[in-house]
């Protein structure tokens, strides 16, 4: 049984926060309200799972976490942009996130949309800086990984399928989706959440000069880990206060008990993908376990 990753998170977390802080526009430059909105959502108590996975994956293949930090932070900026846009009135219409009013509630819809757009662009500007330490070719590969993971067959595509599955009236003319709820929820979660998490795990290794066989193992690890992560999120939403009953979720498609079992299976598969790896993969194994047993 892998240990937890508390020590790793304590060791790397502050460096990630510092790098995110350094990546943001300095105080006092125009346009102040935009920067305020970006910071409001970026520094809102996020767990920094995606940057931690980039770093842990780099370290698993003998890379230097400091060298992959810009791509790690880019993944967090992208995650933050997606949360801001998902919360908008025309999407999930969420007034609260992590117990605080959402970005559009505080700053208005226009600034929220633009804060998301600015974080999205800044992510790629930042990711390109990784070349200084990791080289141009590997950095471009990481940029392509991440861009593909958040596009029409990834994060954004998953959000669209999620909205279609809800049967929003405004989308009615496009017909209903999916035909099979259990197949549908797998596809939505793979695209909406697992694709970026898998890209994070792959990118950390790509930027560290990993071999193809290592990247193949990490691809499987990231895919299962990303799916497990979203299933656990679904379960926490269902059992917590913020239940969203009519969304395409694992508990709704499979029931809570079966969902718990699937999350455990997927975590097991993520760890099994690294079966041939030594102690260098302990941090990734620990993170997979920690993400399964978390309570928030």
The footprint of its own copies (CB under 8 A) covers: 25, 29-35, 38, 85, 88, 90-91, 108-111, 113-114, 116-118, 120-122, 124-125, 128-129, 131, 135-137, 139-140, 143-144, 147-148, 150-157, 159-161, 163-164, 168, 170-171, 174, 177, 187
Residue 257: beta bridge partners? none
DSSP state of 67: G
Kindly tell me which of 56 and 161 has the beta carbon lying closer to its own copies.
161
Kindly tell me which of 85 and 285 has the beta carbon lying closer to its own copies.
85
Burial of 127: CB neighbours in 10 Å, binned 0-12, 13-18, 19+: buried
Kindly tell me which of 147 and 269 has the beta carbon lying closer to its own copies.
147
- Residues contacting 34, CB < 8 A, separation 6+: 111, 114, 115, 118
The CB-of-35 to its own copies minimum distance in angstroms stands at 6
Whole-angstrom CA distances from 5 to 58, 285, 292 are: 16, 9, 12
Residue 101 three-state SS: strand
CB 158 within 8 A of CB 190: yes
Phi, psi (degrees; rounded to nearest 5) at 96: -130, 145
The CB-of-276 to its own copies minimum distance in angstroms stands at 31
Kindly tell me which of 11 and 136 has the beta carbon lying closer to its own copies.
136
The CB-of-235 to its own copies minimum distance in angstroms stands at 26
The CB-of-205 to its own copies minimum distance in angstroms stands at 18
Whole-angstrom CA distances from 290 to 4, 244, 262 are: 6, 24, 16
Kindly tell me which of 135 and 268 has the beta carbon lying closer to its own copies.
135
The CB-of-152 to its own copies minimum distance in angstroms stands at 5
């Amino acid at each position: 049984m892998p240990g937890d990753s508390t020590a790793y998170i304590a060791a790397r977390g502050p460096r990630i926060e510092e790098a995110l802080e350094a990546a943001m526009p300095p105080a006092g430059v125009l346009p102040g309200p935009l920067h305020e909105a970006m910071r409001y959502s970026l520094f809102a108590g996020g767990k920094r799972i995606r940057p931690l996975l980039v770093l842990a994956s780099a370290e698993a293949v003998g890379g230097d976490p400091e060298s992959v930090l810009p791509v790690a932070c880019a993944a967090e900026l992208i995650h933050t942009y997606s949360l801001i846009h998902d919360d908008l009135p025309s999407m999930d219409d969420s007034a609260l996130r992590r117990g605080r009013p959402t970005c559009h509630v505080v700053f208005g819809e226009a600034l929220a949309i633009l804060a998301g757009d600015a974080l999205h662009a800044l992510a790629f500007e930042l990711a390109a800086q990784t070349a200084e330490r990791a080289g141009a070719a590997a950095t471009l590969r990481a940029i392509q990984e991440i861009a593909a993971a958040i596009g029409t067959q990834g994060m954004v595509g998953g959000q669209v399928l999620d909205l279609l599955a809800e049967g929003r009236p405004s989308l009615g003319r496009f017909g209903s989706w999916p035909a099979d709820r259990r197949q549908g929820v797998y596809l939505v979660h793979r695209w909406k959440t697992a694709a970026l998490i898998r890209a994070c795990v792959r990118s950390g290794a790509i930027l560290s000069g990993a071999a193809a066989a290592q990247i193949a193992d990490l691809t499987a690890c990231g895919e299962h880990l990303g799916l497990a992560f979203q299933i656990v999120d679904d379960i926490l939403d269902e059992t917590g206060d913020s239940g969203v009953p009519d969304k395409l979720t694992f508990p709704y498609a499979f029931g809570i008990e079966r969902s718990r079992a699937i999350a455990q299976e997927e975590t097991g598969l993520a760890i099994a993908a690294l079966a041939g790896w030594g102690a260098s993969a302990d941090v990734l194994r620990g993170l997979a376990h920690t993400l399964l047993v978390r309570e928030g």
